[in-house]
Structure 1
């Protein structure tokens, strides 16, 4: 396999200083029309995002949080309503013709469904060869053939002769996704935007695709946006994690800090909702589902809640959460969150071992016999009762 020295030599050492693709205060609103008139869907608002060379950034959130919309904005599939997108420090907007060809030669989008994103009527030879020809990455039949073999080898589809003349329906889901990645690599991009690239694959082969993406980061120096609803896979693959909720980014930082020290209640909800082999080991299988309580539903993006959009589901919601949107607070170098708990001095509440999201904090405190809901009082109470029965403490279990 041949590689280009200038793009593969120590890419991650330069990650912090080289921003390839950036979003600044990007907003996207959609207008929907019906029999009762029109309405505005506030799909994405105030997104700030940097993709560095040789780095994987994960964007995590439940369905409908706006993750795919961000990827499509960055790929210029949608025009922005507000804010700007910069490629290598230069603002870009809707592009056509040669400008579009140049942009897509540097920014490639990996779709969620590998079968739908491939032409079912054409063999792999045509699918990869067409990308090479359109972007001028190979000339003549011999060079195109050589480059196709090289691309198949790079995505671990070997020997290439076994796959080059097959049609998409003759391949497994994992093999099709590798073809999608190979087609993106054919144009020699600097950025890949992966829209849940493993969600439609068998569990047994997801790890292979994740390892391939990590290999491309390390060897090719690619900047990769990895969109997922699975925070466990984000932890495995990503250098940094950004958490999205209801069209807004609510927390961001290194993957280890976000996973081990979450600073937003929604991040805690995602982590607590992830599969944990430790739950239910003592025969209480119901604890697998009951521990985090009633998770609630995301809000409407046509009429989002006033203030913090998470406040209807948050057990720590205060009056100010219903009135004003929280500012971005840096809790440690490179780790930030948008939550009033930090500005009100109550962030220690997030350190509780168990949080029941269906129980408002004031109600749970009263049931536990706590007169106030200060973080120090709650934590002192749980520590003092450690080792005793705590069934009546609700979310304040030590």
Structure 2
């Protein structure tokens, strides 16, 4: 039997668990917190709520909110400079994937110095990061659990994937009540990101019995509660989506992801496409591409998505893929890249960028840039 490693942070999950933010920071020795969030979370009222909690615990803190979707490298460097100027210690991030990824980038540059691009790839981080407490305001990225961070290199127009055990936060606080301030659009993209995490981690060559359980559980909960959550935004369904995201996050941070993330990262770097929307458009095509290399697992995915077993494994797998396409159409997400991109002239360059993405190493079927270009053109 092989040996497996399963890495996750300390996880606090439950309605109202935001109230533990200050206590957790104190446990990590905070004397001056460096709080990272963004204007969208501010508008929802959660930043002020967090500040109330921190003041109640008599914690000193400084605040940084120069974060946008697909966070930029210069924002990371500006944040690191501000952190050092204010002599902060523990980093507390409140927000979605972009906020948490930016916070990780700041922690990385503060502790290891240099330029964030120096650490692109896997296992290039040499020194421990400052203690980190992460509080997601949505689901999808699960950066509050993972050993990944993704930062946009503005000059090269690519999204850099950085992987290191040191990027796993010390504590993750997941409070499902934060999801009630999301709207329909802000929920759809993260759910498709979580779907991609569940599917890609399940078929990854690094998958093991522990990650597979989390992948399947996450996928099952996402499929069963996504429509219900969109219809009524009832907290019970949102909570199940938060659990699903946590499950798929635990899976992919240990088993990694694959071709779909390489494609989405490259599109996001070149065109600033919302990450989850890239997955909504491309995940079915990626699943078809991988089908012959992992038929049994794709059939398992098909059974979870459709709740049915068909005459053959291939038929079951294909039914799952088609059900995802039907879900996408039902929700109203664009199905063709031409609907969101200005033209396709840069797709060869985007394909070459995707072929260099480290996530491609854990795809069950090899793909070169021409294979990737064919997928893009097929989705055009």
TM-score, normalising length: structure 2: 0.37
Higher Rg of the two aligned structures: 1
Structure (1 or 2) with the greater helix fraction:
2
Structure (1 or 2) with the greater strand fraction:
1
